[in-house]
Amino acid sequence: MISRAGLPLEDLEFVQFHPTGIFPAGCLMTEGCRGEGGILKNSEGEPFMARYAPTAKDLASRDVVSRAMTMEVREGRGVGPNKDHIYLHLDHLPPDTLHERLPGISETAKIFAGVDVTKEPIPVLPTVHYNMGGAPTNWKTQVLTMKGKKYDGKNDHTEASMKSMTEEIVPGLMAAGEASCASVHGANRLGANSLLDLVVFGRQAADTAAELVKPNSPPKPIPKDAGEYAISRMDAILNRQKGIPTAKIRTQLQTAMQKYAPVYRNGDDLRKGVAIVADVVKLYDQVTVEDKSLIWNTDLIEAMELENLLSQGYQQIVAAENREESRGAQAREDFPDRCDTKWPKHTLTWQSEKATEKMSVPLTYREVITQPLDDEMHHVPPAKRVY
């Protein structure tokens, strides 16, 4: 919504993959499975995580486990008829432990994978789980935008261009949780960091609202035509007689993103993916629905949600292609190392046109806040993460 309103989104290239999504349904098997002793094994029956993280093994962080699983599949050690996934073993754990510590896991595996976890392994594959990026915010959860000179293109990394744009608070707009990017997660969110989203910034959003909105203050005036554009977009979908079904466009987007912007990325694939996704986005002005009613129309809802998927997917793959380094969840095979001279900065992506099917994705950047805002905590410099 804010992207279509002309505000930037930050760091969309950083996408966290959860290691254990049920294959092929995608429903998550909690990391508690491995926390309670679950073991990932390849087609040779090898508990392979010991090769990738000798100390942490199956308890390594999500991105490390996801990449290890991806490497096993790519090197021909995947399981199943097509050798395209991995097995998660819980069958060596006592059934009482599974029932007590992992309630619901047995049922989920039975429904979505058809396996009895006390006797059979669960087929799993890394699944997109969390976006580190979102609406840029300050620590008070106020959404920020950038004003001033725009960059001379994505390869403009000059300090002058960085300094030419200044942050501005968007009045009355706040964001917290996965929709926001206060960037406490950096390029790689850890599991327990969801508490930051929920407890810290959820409460701060309430405190900020209480600070800004005085009791009994009158409502702010809104334009007389507010909402008319959105209604016209909805009407166009409902009244379109011939076109392309939502599911067909969505499948094209999903296929392109999975193929060209997966766990491991490279420049050639990303460039192809940017071009393909750009073409898919243009199809949105042909989306059509079978259900033309206004009562509980899930067909219409999915068509409207598709616009959000197209905009964010396009911005995500453009940002991923642009960041020529590996940092956190962004793993580039052609740029395997982190570059702390050129890339310690936020990517800002913009939707160039309000109508998503006409959009391109201009890029700008934003400085990273590297120092604490008070003296309670000392500065922690970036360091290489090793296992």
23-80, pLDDT tens digit by residue?
A: 988 899 999 999 999 999 999 999 999 999 999 999 998 889 999 999 999 999 999 9
| Cβ(137)–Cβ(340) below 8 Å | no
| Tokens encoding 85 | 């996934």
- Of 39-48, 114-123, 350-359, 365-374, least confident by mean pLDDT is 365-374
What's the angle, vertex CA 119, arms to CA 116 and CA 124, rounded to 5? 65
Separation of alpha carbons 238 and 107, rounded Å: 39
The DSSP annotation for 170-220 comes to EEEEE--GGGEE--TTTTS--GGGHHIIIIIHHHHHHHHHHHHS-TTPPPP
Separation of alpha carbons 264 and 331, rounded Å: 5
* pLDDT (mean) for 213-227: 91
Nearest to 32 by CA among 96, 125, 104: 104
Contacts with 40 (C-beta within 8 Å, 6 or more apart), sequence order: 19, 20, 34, 47, 48, 49, 58, 65, 68, 69, 86, 87, 88, 89, 124
Distance of CA 13 to the CA centre of its chain: 8
Q: pLDDT band at 165, cuts 50/70/90?
A: confident
Place of tokens 């959003």: 205
Q: What is the pLDDT of residue 387?
A: 66
Question: For 305-317, what is each residue's pLDDT tens digit?
Answer: 999 999 999 999 9
Separation of alpha carbons 58 and 41, rounded Å: 10
**3-state class of 346 per DSSP?**
strand
Residues assigned a catalytic role: 62
Q: What is the pLDDT of residue 150?
A: 66
Separation of alpha carbons 387 and 380, rounded Å: 19
Side-chain-side CA neighbours of residue 24 (13 Å): 5
Q: What is the pLDDT of residue 143?
A: 98
Q: Give phi and psi for 345, each to the nearest 5.
A: -155, 160
Q: What is the pLDDT of residue 110?
A: 94
Model confidence pTM above 0.85 = yes
Q: pLDDT band at 155, cuts 50/70/90?
A: confident
Set out the domains of the chain in order of their start, with CATH numbers.
18-128 (3.90.700.10), 133-212 (no CATH), 228-367 (1.20.58.100)
| Cβ(76)–Cβ(29) below 8 Å | no
Q: Give phi and psi for 180, each to the nearest 5.
A: -105, 170
Nearest to 167 by CA among 10, 328, 386, 333: 10
**What letters, b where the CB count within 10 A reaches 16 and e where it falls short, cover 100-126?**
eebeebbebbeebbebebeeebbbbbb
Separation of alpha carbons 306 and 254, rounded Å: 11
Side-chain-side CA neighbours of residue 328 (13 Å): 25
Q: What is the pLDDT of residue 169?
A: 97
Q: How long, in residues, is the chain?
A: 387
Nearest to 281 by CA among 318, 321, 250: 250
Kindly report the average pLDDT of the chain as a whole number.
93
| Cβ(132)–Cβ(63) below 8 Å | no
Q: What is the pLDDT of residue 156?
A: 78
Whole-number Cα distances in Å, 291 to 237, 295, 304: 10, 10, 13
Separation of alpha carbons 380 and 76, rounded Å: 40
Q: What is the pLDDT of residue 159?
A: 79
Side-chain-side CA neighbours of residue 380 (13 Å): 5
| Tokens encoding 1 | 């919504």
Q: What is the pLDDT of residue 185?
A: 87
Nearest to 235 by CA among 289, 305, 312, 306: 289
| Cβ(333)–Cβ(29) below 8 Å | no
DSSP 221: P
| Cβ(7)–Cβ(79) below 8 Å | no
Q: What is the pLDDT of residue 230?
A: 94
